[in-house]
Amino acid sequence: MTMSGKPLLTVEDLRVTFPTRTGDVQAVRGVSFALGRERLGIVGESGSGKSQTGRAIMGLTPGHAKISARKLAFGDRDLLRMRASERRHLRGKKVAMILQDPKYSLNPVMTIGRQIVETLKTHERISTSAAKARALAMLEAVQINDPERVFSLYPHEVSGGMGQRAMIAMMLVCGPELLIADEPTSALDVTVQLEVLDILDRLVADRGMGLIFISHDLRLVSSFCDRVIVMYAGRIVEELPAANLADAQHPYTRGLLNCLPTIGSDRHPLPVLDRKPEWAL
């Protein structure tokens, strides 16, 4: 919650439905939560509706899908009723999203620096030289050692970890209040993953942003966030403080935690999930 007690984001009974030839696919089925300036994790297996929840908040739901909510608000602003141009302005300026693979968000034919400068100029009245200075400072803030050099490189010329840092720089350069990170490090090697998370963690704390961290990795999410929402088949089945993960009640959450092989625990065979049809009701 913010200081005033007003949430940064309010989601009530969010639904996203895809019409398909074989009938409607209900990707998100009545998701509700409120977010303050905190770190909220959304976990669940693939297909549980995590990304579609994030995309609905961003206003990036595919055009043919049906979206509805009792309330979807950024502060006091109604996201579902606002004009498309206003929504576009909000996106990038106040609300930003980082995706798993920078390949899909960075423009391959534009240098990294130019993309960050363009992002700034789209959202702020700023001179090119001031924008360049801000871009370089932002590249430095994501711990890129030689920002001048990386500024002039194309996305394919940098490693996965560097690309993801550039992506974070681009998304945060306008100073958004809410950041949605959808599997931001899942494509990275474990050691690089921790470096990137560390950078993200510090930026979120220093700037007092609200963060929604989406991941299939329950342990990772709970080590990074304050609060965790667990999704199954388009719904929230459990919500708990990240520190109390061990006290999870829902058999799905407990099952997800138990089925992971870990060093030093000798469990043969590994416990498997016994999915119950009622979980998806």
Partner 1 sequence: MTSALSIRDMVVIYDEFTALDHVSFDIGAGESFGIVGESGSGKSTLLRAVSGLASFDQGTLTVNGHSYSGRKRDKEFYRTVQMVFQDPYGSLHPRQTVDRLLLEPLLIHGFTDIETRINRALDEVGLGSGFRFRYSHQLSGGQRQRIAIARALILEPKILLLDEPTSALDASIQAEILNLLEQARRDRNLTFVMVSHDLGVISHMCERLAVMKNGKVVETVPRKALENREFSADYTRQLLVASEGFRRG
Which residues, including other chains, have CB under 8 Å from residue 52's CB and lie 6 or more apart? 16, 27, 28, 61, 65
Exactly one of 268, 277, 278, 281 binds partner 1 (CB under 8 A); that residue is 268
Interface with ligand ADP includes 160 (CB under 6 A)? no
Exactly one of 84, 109, 190, 246 binds partner 1 (CB under 8 A); that residue is 190
| Least distance from Mg ion to the Cβ atom of residue 164, Å | 16
Closer to Mg ion at the Cβ: 117 or 221?
A: 221
| Least distance from Mg ion to the Cβ atom of residue 250, Å | 20
For 221, counting Cβ atoms within 10 Å of its Cβ (0-12 exposed, 13-18 middle, 19+ buried), the class is: buried
Say if CB 163 and CB 107 are below 8 A apart.
no
From CA 212, how far away is CA 210, in angstroms rounded? 7
Strand ranges for 155-262 from DSSP E: 178-182, 210-215, 227-232, 235-241
Exactly one of 133, 137, 243, 270 binds partner 1 (CB under 8 A); that residue is 270
Q: Which of partner 1, Mg ion, ligand ADP, none interacts with 22 (beta carbon under 5 to 8 A by kind)?
A: none
| Least distance from Mg ion to the Cβ atom of residue 171, Å | 17
Per CB under 6 A, contacts with ligand ADP among 8-47 are 18, 20, 25, 27, 44, 46-47
Query: In the block, which residue shows the tokens 């895809």?
Result: 18
Q: Which of ligand ADP, Mg ion, partner 1, none interacts with 260 (beta carbon under 5 to 8 A by kind)?
A: partner 1
Interface with partner 1 includes 71 (CB under 8 A)? no
Closer to ligand ADP at the Cβ: 27 or 196?
A: 27
Exactly one of 101, 201, 226, 238 binds partner 1 (CB under 8 A); that residue is 201
Interface with ligand ADP includes 210 (CB under 6 A)? no
Per CB under 6 A, contacts with ligand ADP among 49-88 are 49-52, 62
Exactly one of 61, 105, 164, 193 binds partner 1 (CB under 8 A); that residue is 193
Per CB under 8 A, contacts with partner 1 among 23-62 are 45-46
- CB under 8 Å, gap of 24 or more: what pairs does 138-147 form? 138/169, 138/170, 138/172, 138/173, 139/112, 139/113, 139/165, 139/166, 139/169, 141/169, 141/172, 141/203, 142/166, 142/168, 142/169, 142/199, 142/203, 143/195, 143/199, 144/169
DSSP 36: -
Helix axes 160-172, 128-141, angle to 10 degrees: 130
Helix axes 190-207, 160-172, angle to 10 degrees: 10
Which of 6-14, 47-55, 85-93, 249-257 is the region at the interface with Mg ion (rule: CB under 5 A)? 47-55
**Site residues for partner 1 per CB under 8 A:** 45-46, 189-194, 197-198, 201, 216, 218-220, 223-224, 255-256, 259-264, 267-273
